[in-house]
Copies of this chain bind each other. A is one copy, B any other.
Amino acid sequence: MKLYDYLPSGNSYKVRLLLSYLGRAYIHVPIDIHKAETHTSEFLAKNPAGQIPMLELDDGRILAESNAIILYLGEGSPLISADKFDRAKMYQWMFFEQYKHEPAIAVARYIRHYAMDNRADELPKLMERGKAVLAIMERYLSERDWFAGDARSLADVALYAYTHVAHEGGFDMAPYPNIQTWLERFSDHPNHILITDQPSSG
């Protein structure tokens, strides 16, 4: 299978991280979103939403949306609980991640990282929303080690991706000790990789 991705993207990192956990080989196809490589007619024919990450299966079928891709790849692994309610909580936090977390924290990081002065006026609202998101996570983690059930799940994979680089978005993480402990707990895994690790192809 081929993973079309952009290295600094937390959404892409979720997929690379999971593939590392699972020990799965894949062909890495780097895409430069700043050269509009997600908007070529060839790319759009595969994913009309024009987004990475995108997974192309060996038979040519295409999957998009980072959290859908990790749900697909994670099936049958311990990262999806056998317990129905724990699984539902995993879904809950994955939708929370895409609806509330990513649009605030990842976007703030993106604007700062590329010093997009033309979007700087978005930052105050993004910071406010991002802090509210972090406060919700901090409170939830005061009573739990993981987001869904008693073990690491895809919800942790999804939330780790942009939380561990939230400081790059300008977020001071000092007020969130439970989140910091959870980030350390999460990265303590034999197959952990960094967002900056260059994937080996194939």
Q: Which residues of B contact A48 (CB under 8 A)?
A: 136, 139-140
Instruction: Please state the number of chain copies in the assembly.
Output: 2
With an 8 A cutoff between CB atoms, is A95 at the interface? yes
Tell me how many residues of A have a C-beta within 8 Å of chain B: 32
- Tell me what chain A mostly uses at the interface: helix, strand, loop, or mixed: helix
CB under 8 Å from chain B, chain A span 10-35: none
CB contact under 8 A between A91 and B75, given known A49-B100, A99-B98, A99-B99: no
Interface presence of A64 (CB below 8 A): yes
Interface residues of A (CB under 8 A from B): 48-49, 57, 61, 63-69, 71-72, 75, 84-85, 87-89, 91-92, 94-96, 98-100, 102-103, 136, 139-140
